[in-house]
Structures are given as structure tokens and as C-alpha cells.
């Protein structure tokens, strides 16, 4: 526990002189620890930490060339604005605005962009009735680390209100909101120091620079879980969520608070990613698919890794490295996919037959009679084999399907070999695809119990494809990270028969207090 400004303000020479030797040693240790940590923070810069370039002090930005100085102004950085603020109108010309950025103030206006000092704020106008109260007391003295007795003198020094959904009451239908007033107390120690209860806050995270995680929140954890579900599963915009809460519950939340809540939920739950990855890696069968996903104008891909009871979504480039990083060289199960070349890195895999049949249907509908004839025959052979596989799952033939349908398989192979150098580019591409993955494609003929389609992954993506159409993707790396993993948790909870919003509420509640996160809902026992 670090010494706060309030703690340090109480420490002076007279107070130190009155302390016993053992308490003085304890206080010295705490001060030394804080001094060392603060020194390390002072030595941090954009070159040795995750701090942004704008965190450099003004003296670190001076001395550069005029060209570099001008670039800072043109980019609209905080440093450039700070340097420009002290310059005269004759010395500094405002740079033209860059697309997507606010223009600097006009020459000679004397004002900087944004809210001006002394202007009225925009605090909450809604007054909520307090329905519950909770007091927070410090347990140990911040100075001497002695335990504070329950009957020690105390008083409130600040408080905050939290709006949340109350636990369900048996026999009652619907949601009930409660407003809890959290009061922080300060308690006097026998050493003379007054210690204050401090709300827990997570340390800064370079991956979540704009996302805070801590107890001091307006939106309670259960309400936060509902907001996440409304945004992702129900595909509501921030404005629509705001309207719904106002219309149905007379609760006013800004779109900014709603967006902040969703991002906070993403950071809070991200430590659970390892557990999902472990379930994926250990699966006997894994369905994989991907679809395009825009992120602030950059084309990325939304990956879906799907098992019977687990779903993991990832947003990133369409590359082999993306999948390898997710599976961590530990996946030994069966990979079911379409024909994307990245999946060929895994030997133990299957091809999706509906994908192949659609390509053959395209050949069969060709205006070229020769190509159409080949497509129709190959399509007919594949459908014959597919029907035989489905029938064998109920009543397998004694000699096995490869022996019973040897002529059909041989004919299919002959057609592929005969047209591998065909002048028709589409036909040539399709038969070469068959030949390249021949054993992978026909493996279910020898093992009829294996899946023939990749529908599990495609169905998992379908909901989010519609979401992409509505929202046009995400707008930052941080937003993509939060979206992908929250979607993963929601889909995994649904497959395991658990309430997604209630589970997310428990995760957010634990993360805000720095406690261990609850485990992902267990896979239901088979009946």
C-alpha cells in the first residue's frame, strides 16, 4: 500500500520524534519503498516504457530542428499545442487541419481548442434515491502498519454512488435497480496518524491506456454485464442502449459512460483468455473460419475457433502466424476448415464438403457445355459419397465404404487428373484443389463418423457478421480486443448453459476489487 498525499501531509518532524523505534523503522521502510518506485517512474520515457510520446516533458522536446517542431504542431499533439500556446501570433502560424482532427484555433484568437478554463461543467443532472449504504474502513495504519481497532474514532471523508441491478428476489419478476452510497472513512491510529480507506485501482496497462479498472464506478457490475450483452449479443448501439435504459428504467447514462463500461469489461475479463485457449488446444475437434473485419479503416479478420462448448474469437491479420499464436503448437486434434491455404499447415485436418459442392455447382452452371458436364459429374459423385457416409453412420456396410464405392472414387480421381492442365481456369483450379487435398477430402469415406461440414464455425460467425454490417467494425485496437474476447465469453457461456450477463457481472465485480476472477462456467454434464 502506497502512502497517499493525505498520509504524507500528516508526517512531520514532531510526529516522527514521538514514534517508538520499531514504528519509526516501519515508516522508514514504507517511505524508502515509495521513493524508489517514484524514481523509477520519473526515469520512464517513450523509449523504455509503454508511455506515449506526448508524455515527454517540454524540455525533452526542445532543441530539435524547425522542421521537427513544425511537425509536432501539424500532427496536433499535446506537446505541439503546449509549445504553441506560449508563442506570439507573429511567431507561429496555425497549421491546416488534418483529416479526422480538430483544427487549431485561428491566428490571434488567443484560445485553445476544447473546453476553456472556468467554463461551467456538465455533471450528472439526474438525482437518484439512495437505497443502500456501504462503509469502507481502512484495516491497517498507512504509517505504522498497525491494525486499526473497530471502535477507533472515524469519520467519512468522501463517497460515491453506484447504480446496479439488485439480485433477483424469489417470487418477483423483473429487474430492480438499487443505488448504493459507498462511504470512505478515515480512522485515527494510536500513533496519531489518520488513515483513509482507498478504493482499489488496477495499475496502468500499456495495452489498455484509456481503460481504468477500479472500485470507483457509477455503473455496478451486474448492470455492466447487461450493457455488454445489449451491445454485443443484442447488437444495440451505444445510443440505443442509452435510450432503452432511459425509456424502460428512467436511468440516464451517457454514451461515453456506456462505451467506457464495455471497454472496462473487456480489460477485466481478458485474463480469462488463457483458460479459453487451453480448452481450444485440448479439444478433439476444432472448427475454424474467418471473415473480414474493419478496424478504423484497416482491413482485418475476425477468426472463430469453435468446439462443442467453447468459442474463441480473435481479430487480426489473415495469416498463419495468427492461428499458430492462438493454438501455441499444442493442438493435436482434428482441424475442420474450408480451403484457405493457411490451414494446410496442420496435417490432421478435414475439408468442408459443402464448400466443395458449391464450387462444383458453379462448374455445373457454366455456360461452357464441356465444363458444365465435368462439374455435373463430379458433383453427382460427391453427393453419392456424401449420402453413403450419412447412411453408414446408421448402418455401416461390412466391407467398408472405400471398398464399396471404389469405382466412384476412382472415377472422381480420373476426372481430376484429366483436367489438371485444362484451359478453363476455374475448372483447372477446382480439380487441382481436389488433388492437393485428396486424402483430407476423402478421409470421411473411410471414417464416416467424422464431420463433413464446417457449419459450427460458420454459424458462430453469422451473428457477428450481422453486427459488422450494423456497426461497421471497431474503431481501435483496444476496442477490437474488448469486442473479440467479450464475444468469446458470451458465446462460451451460451454453449455451456450459463447466463452470460450474470457471469460477466461476477467477473467485473472481482476485477474492480483486484480479486481472483471466477472460473469460466463448467461444461454441463452429459445426460
What local confidence, expressed as pLDDT, does residue 91 receive?
40
Per-residue DSSP letter, 71: H
- Residue 433: count of CB within 10 angstroms of its CB: 17
362 lies in the same domain as 406: yes
- Flag whether 437 is in a domain: yes
- Flag whether 413 is in a domain: yes
358 lies in the same domain as 432: yes
- Flag whether 238 is in a domain: no
Contact assessment for residue 281 and residue 330, using Cβ atoms and an 8 Å cutoff: yes
Round the CA-based radius of gyration of the chain to a whole number and report it.
Answer: 31
379 lies in the same domain as 421: yes
- Flag whether 462 is in a domain: no
Does pLDDT of 199 surpass 50?
yes
- Mean confidence (pLDDT) of the chain: 84
Q: Kindly give the residue spans of alpha helices, DSSP state H, lying in 43-65.
A: 58-61
357 lies in the same domain as 436: yes
Look at residues 412, 446, 480 and tell me which one is the last residue of a structural domain.
446
35 lies in the same domain as 63: no
Average pLDDT over residues 400-412: 95
pTM listed for this prediction: 0.76
Average pLDDT over residues 313-323: 91
382 lies in the same domain as 439: yes
Contact assessment for residue 521 and residue 503, using Cβ atoms and an 8 Å cutoff: yes
Does pLDDT of 78 surpass 70?
no
What are 402's three cell numbers? 472405400
User: How many independent structural domains does the chain possess?
Assistant: 3
Domain of 25?
Answer: 5-42
Each residue's pLDDT tens digit, 419-474? 999 999 999 999 999 999 999 999 999 999 999 999 999 999 999 999 999 989 99
30 lies in the same domain as 93: no
What local confidence, expressed as pLDDT, does residue 153 receive?
86
What is the band of 190 on the pLDDT scale with cuts at 50, 70, 90?
confident
Average pLDDT over residues 232-258: 93
29 lies in the same domain as 89: no
Residue environment code for 241-268, b if the CB has 16+ CB neighbours within 10 A, otherwise e: bbebbeeeeebebeeebbbbbbbbbbbb
What is the band of 228 on the pLDDT scale with cuts at 50, 70, 90?
very high
What are the two backbone dihedrals, phi and then psi, of residue 520, each rounded to the nearest 5 degrees? -65, 140
What is the band of 96 on the pLDDT scale with cuts at 50, 70, 90?
very low
Average pLDDT over residues 339-364: 92
Each residue's pLDDT tens digit, 106-162? 455 566 666 676 666 555 667 888 999 999 999 999 888 889 988 888 899 999 999
Span of 101-105, 168-172, 417-421, 434-438 with lowest mean pLDDT: 101-105
What local confidence, expressed as pLDDT, does residue 13 receive?
81
- Flag whether 254 is in a domain: no
Span of 38-42, 144-148, 267-271 with lowest mean pLDDT: 38-42
What are 460's three cell numbers? 458462430
First-residue to last-residue Cα distance in the chain: 50
Does pLDDT of 66 surpass 60?
no
What is the band of 328 on the pLDDT scale with cuts at 50, 70, 90?
confident
Contact assessment for residue 279 and residue 272, using Cβ atoms and an 8 Å cutoff: no
- Of the candidates 314, 349, 308, the one whose C-alpha atom is nearest the C-alpha of residue 486 is 314
Q: Using the structure block, give the residue that is written with the C-alpha cell 462439374.
A: 375
Look at residues 446, 481, 500 and tell me which one is the last residue of a structural domain.
446
Q: What's the CA gap between 89 and 86, in Å, rounded?
A: 10
359 lies in the same domain as 438: yes
- Three-state DSSP at 409 gives helix
What is the band of 285 on the pLDDT scale with cuts at 50, 70, 90?
very high
Span of 10-19, 63-72, 393-402 with lowest mean pLDDT: 63-72
Which has the higher per-residue pLDDT, 38 or 457? 457
370 lies in the same domain as 430: yes
Amino acid at each position: 500500500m502506497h502512502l497517499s498525499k493525505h498520509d504524507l501531509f500528516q508526517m512531520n518532524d514532531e510526529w516522527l520524534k514521538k514514534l517508538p523505534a520499531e514504528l519509526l523503522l516501519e515508516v522508514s521502510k514504507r517511505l524508502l519503498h515509495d521513493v524508489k518506485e517514484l524514481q523509477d517512474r520519473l526515469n520512464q520515457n517513450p523509449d523504455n516504457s509503454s508511455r506515449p510520446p506526448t508524455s515527454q516533458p517540454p524540455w525533452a522536446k526542445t532543441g530539435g530542428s524547425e522542421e521537427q517542431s513544425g511537425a509536432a504542431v501539424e500532427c496536433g499533439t499535446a506537446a505541439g499545442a503546449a509549445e504553441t500556446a506560449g508563442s506570439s501570433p507573429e511567431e507561429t502560424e496555425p497549421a491546416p487541419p488534418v483529416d479526422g482532427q480538430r483544427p487549431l484555433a485561428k491566428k490571434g484568437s488567443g484560445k485553445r481548442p476544447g473546453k476553456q478554463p472556468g467554463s461551467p461543467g456538465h455533471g450528472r443532472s439526474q438525482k437518484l434515491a439512495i437505497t443502500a449504504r456501504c462503509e469502507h474502513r481502512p484495516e491497517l495504519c498507512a504509517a505504522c502498519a498497525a491494525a486499526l481497532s473497530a471502535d477507533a474514532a472515524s469519520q467519512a471523508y468522501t463517497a460515491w454512488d453506484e447504480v446496479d441491478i439488485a439480485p433477483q428476489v424469489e417470487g418477483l419478476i423483473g429487474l430492480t435497480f438499487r443505488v448504493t452510497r459507498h462511504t470512505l472513512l478515515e480512522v485515527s491510529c494510536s500513533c496519531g496518524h489518520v488513515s483513509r480507506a482507498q478504493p482499489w485501482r488496477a495499475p496502468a496497462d500499456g495495452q489498455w491506456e484509456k481503460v481504468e479498472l477500479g472500485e470507483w464506478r457509477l455503473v455496478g457490475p451486474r448492470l455492466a454485464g447487461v450493457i455488454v450483452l445489449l451491445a454485443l449479443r443484442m447488437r444495440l448501439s451505444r445510443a440505443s442502449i442509452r435510450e432503452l435504459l432511459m425509456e424502460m428504467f428512467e436511468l440516464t447514462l451517457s454514451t461515453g459512460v456506456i462505451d467506457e463500461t464495455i471497454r472496462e469489461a473487456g480489460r477485466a475479463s481478458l485474463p480469462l483468455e488463457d483458460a479459453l485457449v487451453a480448452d481450444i488446444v485440448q479439444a478433439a475437434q476444432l472448427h475454424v473460419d474467418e471473415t473480414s473485419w474493419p478496424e478504423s479503416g484497416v482491413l482485418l479478420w475476425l477468426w472463430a475457433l469453435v468446439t462443442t462448448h467453447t468459442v474463441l474469437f480473435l481479430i487480426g491479420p489473415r495469416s498463419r502466424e495468427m492461428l499458430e499464436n492462438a493454438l501455441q503448437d499444442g493442438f493435436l486434434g482434428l482441424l475442420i476448415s474450408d480451403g484457405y491455404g493457411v490451414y494446410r499447415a496442420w496435417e490432421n485436418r478435414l475439408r468442408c464438403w459443402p464448400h466443395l459442392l458449391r464450387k462444383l455447382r458453379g462448374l455445373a452452371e457454366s455456360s461452357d457445355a464441356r465444363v458444365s458436364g465435368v462439374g455435373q459429374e463430379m458433383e453427382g459423385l460427391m453427393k453419392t459419397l456424401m449420402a453413403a457416409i450419412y447412411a453408414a453412420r446408421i448402418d455401416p456396410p461390412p466391407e467398408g465404404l472405400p471398398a464399396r464405392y471404389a469405382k466412384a472414387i476412382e472415377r472422381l480421381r480420373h476426372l481430376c487428373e484429366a483436367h489438371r492442365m485444362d484451359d478453363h481456369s476455374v475448372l483447372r483450379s477446382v480439380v487441382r484443389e481436389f488433388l492437393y487435398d485428396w486424402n483430407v477430402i476423402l478421409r470421411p469415406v473411410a471414417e464416416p463418423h467424422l464431420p463433413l461440414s464446417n457449419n459450427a464455425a460458420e454459424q458462430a460467425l453469422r451473428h457477428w457478421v450481422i453486427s459488422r454490417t450494423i456497426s461497421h467494425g471497431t474503431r481501435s485496437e483496444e476496442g477490437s480486443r474488448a469486442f473479440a474476447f467479450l464475444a468469446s465469453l458470451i458465446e462460451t457461456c451460451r454453449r455451456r448453459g450459463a447466463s452470460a450477463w450474470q457471469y460477466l457481472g461476477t467477473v467485473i465485480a472481482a476485477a474492480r476489487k483486484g480479486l481472483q476472477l471466477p472460473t469460466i462456467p463448467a461444461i454441463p454434464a452429459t445426460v
